[in-house]
């Protein structure tokens, strides 16, 4: 079965400092990995994905993520956090076997960027 763990409920970071949101995954095959962001009273917005190729993936709003197969991780990063980055972040995985059309989501990380 596919699953995602986001070990920290909340991440606090000062504005201008690097931001990291952690994600580890479990699949039986190869993973498709996604990051989403959710602002209050809104749906999830897609940030970036890893399908294959370069382990460093760049996405929207200056975010990037690094795929690490040996550590089964896909941590989200931003070099310099903004107050507007305060939101709920979700990691999701799909196991890459035929016929699997479901995403498994983590429980989410609340990011608070302190001015």
Partner 1 sequence: DAGITQSPRHKVTETGTPVTLRCHQTENHRYMYWYRQDPGHGLRLIHYSYGVKDTDKGEVSDGYSVSRSKTEDFLLTLESATSSQTSVYFCAISEDYSNQPQHFGDGTRLSIL
Provide the binding-site residues for partner 1, judged by CB under 8 A: 32, 34, 36, 41-46, 49, 51, 90, 94, 96, 100-103, 105-108
> Considering beta carbons, is residue 52 or 70 the nearer one to partner 1?
52
Q: Select 13 or 23, whichever has its Cβ closest to partner 1.
A: 23
d(CA 79, CA 64): 9
Determine the Cα–Cα distance for residues 78 and 70; give it in Å rounded to an integer: 22
Q: How far is the CB of 42 from partner 1 (least distance, A)?
A: 5
Q: Biggest alpha carbon distance in the chain?
A: 46
**Closer Cβ to partner 1, 13 or 106, answer by number:** 106
Shortest reach from residue 17's CB to partner 1, in Å: 26
Q: Which is nearer to partner 1, 58 or 102 (CB)?
A: 102
Report, in Å, the least distance between residue 24 CB and partner 1: 14
Nearest approach in angstroms of CB 75 to partner 1 is 17
Residues 6+ apart with CB under 8 A from 30: 95, 96
The Cα 25–Cα 31 span in angstroms is 8
Q: What does R_g of the chain's alpha carbons equal in angstroms?
A: 14
């Amino acid at each position: 079965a596919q699953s995602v763990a986001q070990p920290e409920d909340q991440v606090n970071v000062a504005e201008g400092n690097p931001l990291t949101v952690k994600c580890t995954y479990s699949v039986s095959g190869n993973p498709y990995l996604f990051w989403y962001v959710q602002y209050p009273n809104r749906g999830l917005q897609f940030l970036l994905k890893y399908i294959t190729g370069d382990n460093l993936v760049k996405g929207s709003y200056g975010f990037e993520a690094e795929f690490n197969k040996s550590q089964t991780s896909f941590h989200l990063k931003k070099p310099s956090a903004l107050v507007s980055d305060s939101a709920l972040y979700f990691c999701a995985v799909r196991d890459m076997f035929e016929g699997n059309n479901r995403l498994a989501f983590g429980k989410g990380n609340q990011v608070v960027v302190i001015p």
